[in-house]
Amino acid sequence: MAIIVNSSETTFHLCNGEISYLFAVLPNRQLGQLYFGKRIREREDFSYLIETRARPMSSCVFDTDKRFSMEHLRQEYPVFGTSDYRMPAVEVVQENGSRISELCYDGYRIEAGKPKLPGLPATYTEDGAEAETLVIMLRDKVSGLLAELSYTIFSEGGILARSVRFVNEGKKDLKLTTAMSLCLDLPDSDYEWMQFSGAWARERYPKLRKLEQGIQSVGSLRGNSSHNHNPFVILKRPGADESRGEAIGFSLVYSGNFLAQAEVDTYDTTRMLLGIHPAAFEWKLEPGETFQAPEAVMVYTDQGLNHLSQTFHRLYQKRLARGYWRDRPRPILINNWEATYFDFTEERLVEIAKTAQESGVELFVLDDGWFGKRSSEHAGLGDWIANPERLKHGITGLADRIEALGMKFGLWFEPEMVNRDSDLYREHPDWILQTPERHACHGRFQYVLDFSRKEVVDRIYDMMAKILSGAKVSYIKWDMNRSITECYSAALPADRQGEVYHRYILGVYDLYERLTSQFPHVLFESCASGGGRFDPGMLYYAPQGWTSDDSDAVERIKIQYGTSYCYPISGMGSHVSVTPNHQVNRNTPLYTRANAAYFGTFGYELDLNALTEEEQAEVKEQIAFMKENRGLFQFGVFYRLQSPFTHNSSAWMVVSQDKKKAIVGWYRTLNGINLPYTRIRLQGLDPDMEYQIQGDPASHYGDELMNLGLITTDTSSGQAEGEEKMCQDFESRLYILSAAGEGAQR
Ligand code: GLA
């Protein structure tokens, strides 16, 4: 890894074994982007890459030159209005009303490792040798705005982490109205744009389309990163697929409003922007004040989408997630939500926990309904005190009973919300986000607390810390069940109302930071009506997130498949629930529900007492199997093999770091009859290693399994004879591979 600055300090080359990132100081002192892609060798002068051409209708910068127009140059951190007509990375309104600035190069510094971003989640290094950071200073001399662009190159992986910090060094107030974290101008537009979109209970479906001239974007203006679109997009070459070809992934480490946008201009260059959504954003900078934009991570690969995803997985698993649970296999849990909803007593909970414990479950999670007057969606949020009518011994008593069974205890909170019917709201009606004299909309009968105010965050912290200090709580499910409306803070002046969305998220991060550092052994799982805030920002505080409220196996395979493009398996909360499924009313076999949930943190969202004896025995086996293999599932190298979005059957697999073990998950939605022969080509194995597949007397070399494929042909029901297993709808299978001689896994 190196950051090479040429002798005239006009070219910067960040590189490691995989990638090169190049930019230069242009003749007008603004920055020009030269290259991002596979590693190229260093040369002293890359200025030939700055293409200036005289073109009709161009607006030109220099009085005596018809060739130099910002409209035709690829840039590093562009502004609007000084001959470039594309969407800018930054816009700052000055006291005279002007929105034009010229951010000119004014020096650099290089730091070992990666500095922290104050108050914001970000990737990190554990020692200085893992990465180097280049900070470029750009100054606008008229307004006094300083923009510090940070670029971190890691020693391994095609990763570049970027962020921007602004300082008002002038004497007058400034107002940032656009402050993107990343701009990447690419020399052509021969890309497909892949976004991850959906809605509640069907989050992160991959959508692919050709980039075209004009603007294509996804974003969120909901205050949370949202179920609808994820702050992650991929630009891939048309021929690229899971195992080959070029692609660039763009991921924003942020949980609030965002915009990911590609603008293809008339010359077919592509401008990629990623950052806080400029709509509904303004940030006032008084003289001396600073603003830190969130981090954006770019990953380049020339080895296909699985490789791209694996790079993100490794980075986010090891250098974004933090703390005690980062590298630890996750406890197998049981959550009472779908078992009881709001209808439970302490005895009922203990009954659920007891059977779960006997089956091998390690953690019992009490979901919504334990606090204040919470017996429905209408009341209680904000009053984080156990309801004595339901829990006569409080949380402390219940946690003790659960621990006495030999399990850990976990608890649900929705810290950011309040019901009007709550003591907190009655005491502080002005603590919600609401615009004066306007109606405040509700979501699920609840209102959003104004987390831009420190006293609000302090109060919630005190209530939560009291519970956590007074009871044996090992896990928290942190939920967030509505988006923001009428965004306005009673505590901020008129000219700072554009800051509320971002200040709100800073408040959320602050509470997470305080709780995770005060209670470092507690495992946090983030949740937002399932996957409404499933983003890298959350992963920094909570190493796992509830992937979706949809717990049906068939739906979950799609959701987890889409989620895996950016996020690691260890980050995906996944449970087995009852049939008929509560979201889609579908009946799937118990083994298929488990076969989907193994590729995640694993747990149960049901009352095991309601299962038959046979099913209970099957659950015991599932748990024993997961305990043996969770290290592999959660921390192995993950490959997508066949997409459930394009096929009736789908597959994925995990491979251990030493390639001696692998598990393939194969799933088929609808059964068929007299079906064709089928094989699935595996990936990531050692071609020379001989593998034993559990239940198959023959062994196979890695090269066979990866090139000829694993035979998945089966016999449909109606066709089966003798001993053969009858297949059904929603069929699934696990293939468990071990290096010959290493012994089968079960
Ligand atoms: C959200 C969560 C669910 C559950 C309920 C409780 O919908 O996503 O898992 O916790 O809230 O109200």
Q: Report the alpha-carbon angle 193-205-412, nearest 5.
A: 130
- The answer to whether residue 674 scores a pLDDT higher than 90 is no
Residue 745: pLDDT over 50: no
Q: 429: helix, coil or strand?
A: helix
**Nearest residue to 584 via CA among 623, 619, 548:** 548
Closest atom of ligand 1 to 529 CA is 8
pLDDT band per the 50, 70, 90 thresholds, residue 724: low
**Mean predicted confidence (pLDDT) in 510-515:** 98
Q: How confident is the model at residue 512 (pLDDT cuts 50, 70, 90)?
A: very high
Beta bridge partners, 290, equal 167
Res. 746 pLDDT band, cuts 50 70 90: very low
* Mean pLDDT computed over 527-552: 98
Return all residues near 326 (Cβ < 8 A) that are at least 6 apart. 317, 318, 543
449, 427 in Cβ contact below 8 A? no
Active site residues: 479, 549
Query: Whose alpha carbon is nearest atom 8 of ligand 1?
Result: 529
Question: Per-residue DSSP letters for 292-324?
Answer: EPPEEEEEEESBHHHHHHHHHHHHHHHHTS-ST
Look at residues 10, 300, 292, 271 and name the one whose alpha carbon lies nearest to residue 153: 300
pLDDT > 90: percent of the chain = 96
State percent of the chain over pLDDT 70.
Answer: 98
Cis status of the peptide bond prior to 644, with omega within 30 of 0: no
**pLDDT surpassing 70 at residue 717:** no
Q: Which residues contact 668 (CB under 8 A, 6 or more apart)?
A: 648, 649, 650, 727, 730, 731, 732
- What number is the average pLDDT over the span 397-411? 98
Burial of 171 (0-12, 13-18, 19+ CB in 10 A): exposed
Section 712-726 average pLDDT: 71
List, for residues 180-196, the tens digit of each pLDDT value: 999 999 999 999 999 99
Query: What pLDDT does residue 242 have?
Result: 98
- In angstroms, the CA 313 to CA 539 distance is 11
User: What is the residue with the minimal CA distance to atom 12 of ligand 1?
Assistant: 368
Determine the pLDDT at residue 431.
98
For the segment 461-475, the average pLDDT, to the nearest whole number, is: 98
Question: What is the distance in A from the centroid of ligand 1 to the CA of 479?
Answer: 7
Cα of 86 from ligand 1 centre, angstroms: 42
pLDDT at 599 over 60: yes
Strand stretches in 603-660, DSSP E: 603-605, 637-642, 649-655
Q: What would the pLDDT profile of 632-648 be if each residue is shown by its tens digit?
A: 999 999 999 999 999 99
Stretch 282-305: mean pLDDT: 98
Residue nearest to atom 7 of ligand 1 (CA): 529
Span 322-371, pLDDT tens digits: 999 999 999 999 999 999 999 999 999 999 999 999 999 999 999 999 99
What is the reported pLDDT for 534? 98
Residue of 334, 338, 549, 583 best suited for mutating to test ligand 1, as the one with most atoms within 8 Å of CB: 549
First to last CA, the chain: 43
In the numeric block, the tokens 């990911």 are attached to 260
Distance 413 CA to ligand 1 centre (A): 10
Angle value at C-alpha 724, between 723 and 728, nearest 5 degrees: 135
Residue 673, pLDDT score:
86
Indicate whether 743 pLDDT > 80: no
Band (715; pLDDT cuts 50, 70, 90): confident
**What is the CA angle 468-473-474, rounded to 5?**
125
DSSP letter for each residue of 176-229: EEEEEEEEEEES----EEEEEEEETTEEEEEEEEE--SEEEEEEE-SSS--SSE
Q: Which residue's CA is minimally distant from atom 2 of ligand 1? A: 529
Concatenated DSSP letters of 355-413:
HHHHHT--EEEE-S-SBTT-SSTTB-TT--SB-TTT-TTHHHHHHHHHHHTT-EEEEEE
Is the pLDDT at 176 greater than 70? The verdict is yes
Mean pLDDT of 455-483: 98
530 CA: nearest ligand 1 atom: 8
CA–centroid distance, 529 to ligand 1, in Å, is: 5
User: Hey, whose CA ends up nearest to atom 11 of ligand 1?
Assistant: 529
Mean pLDDT over 658-685 rounds to 95
In this structure, the number of other CB atoms found within 10 A of the CB of residue 679 comes to 12
pLDDT, averaged across the chain: 97
Average pLDDT for residues 513-541, to the nearest whole number? 98
Whose tokens are 């390639």? That residue is 659
For residue range 97-113, list pLDDT tens digits in order: 999 999 999 999 999 99
Q: What is the pLDDT of residue 744?
A: 45
pLDDT digits (tens, 9 = 90+) for 216-267: 999 999 999 999 999 999 999 999 999 999 999 999 999 999 999 999 999 9
Ligand 1 neighbours, Cβ below 6 Å, are: 337, 367-368, 412, 479, 481, 527, 529-530, 546, 549
Residue showing tokens 């509470």: 511
pLDDT of residue 714: 83
Let me know: does 245 contact 465? Beta carbons within 8 Å: no
Distance 416 CA to ligand 1 centre (A): 14
Distance CA 271, CA 71 (A): 12
